[in-house]
Amino acid sequence: MKRPNIIVYFSDQQRWDTLGCYGQPLLVSPNLDRLAKEGVKFENAFTCQPVCGPARSCLQSGKYATQVNCHRNALALPQDIKTLADYFHESGYETAYVGKWHLASNRSSYTAPFDEENYETRAIPPERRGGYRDYWMAADVLEATSHGYDGYVFDREGKKCEFIGYRADSINNYAIHYLHQYDGEKPFFLFISQIEPHHQNDHGRFEAPDGVREKFTGYELPADIPVDKGDWKENYPDYLGQCHSLDENVGRLVDTLKARGLWENTILFYTSDHGCHFCTRNSEYKRSCHEASIHIPLLAVGGPFQGGRTITELVSLIDLPVTLLDCAGIKKPEDFQGNSLKSLADGTSKGWDDCVFIQISESEVGRAIRTDQWKYAVAADADGWSCPGADVYYEQYLFDLEHDPAECCNLAGDPACEPVRRVLREKLLLCMERAGEKRPEIRPFREG
């Protein structure tokens, strides 16, 4: 195999269990399920930051959000950061980006006005595009420039390009357009960043394609969603409809790759920035340590990712940047976090981490780890918008996922679990130090 083309297909706010290959009983994802049978499914994949912008900063930089000053939304990725696209470009790849960027604008609070660094609804200048040079069809905050059936992005020259039809279809069409004009002289790295199945910020609802939500009204409510909380009743069929639209578009993209003779030399990754708990764990849709917020789908097909295998090791979104570089034969940069998933696929991994680390912001200043059995989380008495971290945290949650997968029984204050907490506390502190954070004090759980 010559140097492969590499595609990341990135959804927004998609729970892992929306796909049939992860147990979804309705026919939401036949194309992705088929790819899982051809490639590799990562059963236990988790975000490292359950907020849109911070998760994207991790992907583009290979570092934790706090390391690049992007711990919350509305913080631009620093222009002196060497990004994935920079490394691919230096290695002779074309770099292409389509969809939601969410790393160009700065503001001090959700209610504060933007200064001159506001690109939410304006064209993003080249120096704020994270090194993507060859093809660009994107907007900084698609939530601000679009709804299901209206909206726009900007091309490489800054020209506004209006959507035609459903939003996810339009974004996918721009990616397909890139593939049709691709001349084959260099391998390409293509990042497709959809906004589905994110809710619409201006009215708090999910917008499926017309006539699609009706296919999913007979759903089974995921076990982790309390029946008496949240807004899932109004939104879950639309949410699944949005996921179905993404699946159809992945199918169209793969068909185009095959028609153009590119499929056999392409590695495709499908994943999401974080999940969705439908306002059942806090007043928002994510920004918590719970499985619904952090457990994401992750599929890979092509290159070493073959054979319909399921990998059960705990993996993180922070492992994806170094994986992408590894697949292109690019050496891991010294300052990148994470480990290459390629080693799990080809059987060369040694001593894979037994936990994943999550930073939580905006709703709180929180940190968490997830092991095979346990979820351990701490939070600080600090503002989650303005403070990237803290010197003191309090134990917040302890869940035994083996016996309580729906995370209903918080053991953080149970004296009998102190030996478990002691071990997990030290694991969390080591993870924080490895992410470049100062070692904090962690105090016992407080009622209320």
Structure confidence by residue, pLDDT tens digits, 350-365: 889 999 999 999 999 9
Helix runs in 10-95, H state only: 30-38, 52-61, 84-90
Q: Check residues 299 and 223 and name the one with the higher pLDDT.
A: 299
What is the rounded average pLDDT of the residues 285-310?
Answer: 96
pLDDT at 129 over 70: yes
Q: Is the pLDDT of residue 4 over 60?
A: yes
pLDDT of 1 over the 90 cut: no
Mean pLDDT of all residues in 13-34:
98
Is the pLDDT at 169 greater than 70? The verdict is yes
Amino acid at 102: H
Distance between CA atoms of residues 239 and 241, nearest Å: 5
**pLDDT band at residue 115, thresholds of 50, 70 and 90?**
low
| CA–CA distance, 123 with 136 (Å, rounded to integer) | 11
Q: Are strands 374-379 and 392-400 parallel, antiparallel or unpaired?
A: antiparallel
Mean residue pLDDT of the chain comes to 95
| pLDDT tier for residue 447 given thresholds of 50, 70 and 90 | confident
What's the pLDDT at 219? 92
Which residue, among 200, 214, 223, 270, has the nearest Cα to 17 in the 3D structure? Answer: 223
pLDDT of amino acid 319? 99
- Find out whether 359 and 66 touch, Cβ atoms under 8 Å: yes
pLDDT classification of 54: cutoffs 50, 70, 90: very high
φ, ψ dihedrals at 53, nearest 5°: -60, -50
In this structure, the dihedral spanned by the alpha carbons of residues 268, 186, 53 and 198, taken in order and rounded to 10 degrees, is: -40
342 has pLDDT over 80: yes
The region that residue 23 occupies, defined by phi over 0 for left and psi between -120 and 50 for alpha, beta otherwise, is: left
Band (114; pLDDT cuts 50, 70, 90):
low
pLDDT tier, 233 (very low <50, low <70, confident <90, very high otherwise)? confident
* Structural domains in the chain plus CATH codes: 5-346 (3.40.720.10), 364-443 (3.30.1120.10)
**What pLDDT was estimated at residue 117?**
81
CB 324 within 8 A of CB 71: no
Over residues 379-383, mean pLDDT: 96
Over range 291-297, report the average pLDDT.
97
Residue 93 clears pLDDT 60, i.e. is over it? yes
Q: Inform me whether the pLDDT recorded for 321 exceeds 90.
A: yes
Residue 261: HSE in the Cβ half-sphere, 13 Å Cα cutoff: 3
Where is 327: in which H helix or E strand?
helix 320-327
Separation between Cα atoms, residue 49 and residue 67, nearest integer Å: 12
What mean pLDDT do residues 251-276 have?
98
Backbone φ and ψ of 424, nearest 5°: -70, -35
Q: Give the H or E element holding residue 344.
A: helix 342-346
- Asked if 138 and 193 count as a contact pair (C-beta separation under 8 A), the reply is yes
User: DSSP letters along 244-293, please?
Assistant: HHHHHHHHHHHHHHHHTT-GGGEEEEEEES----TTSSSSSSS-SSSHHH
C-alpha closest to that of 19 among 223, 191, 272:
272
Percent of the chain with pLDDT over 70: 98
**Residue 432 confidence (pLDDT) above 80:** yes
Residue 203 confidence class, pLDDT cut points 50, 70, 90: confident
Q: Using CA atoms, how far apart are residues 403 and 374, in angstroms rounded to an integer?
A: 10
Instruction: Give the pLDDT score at 226.
Output: 82
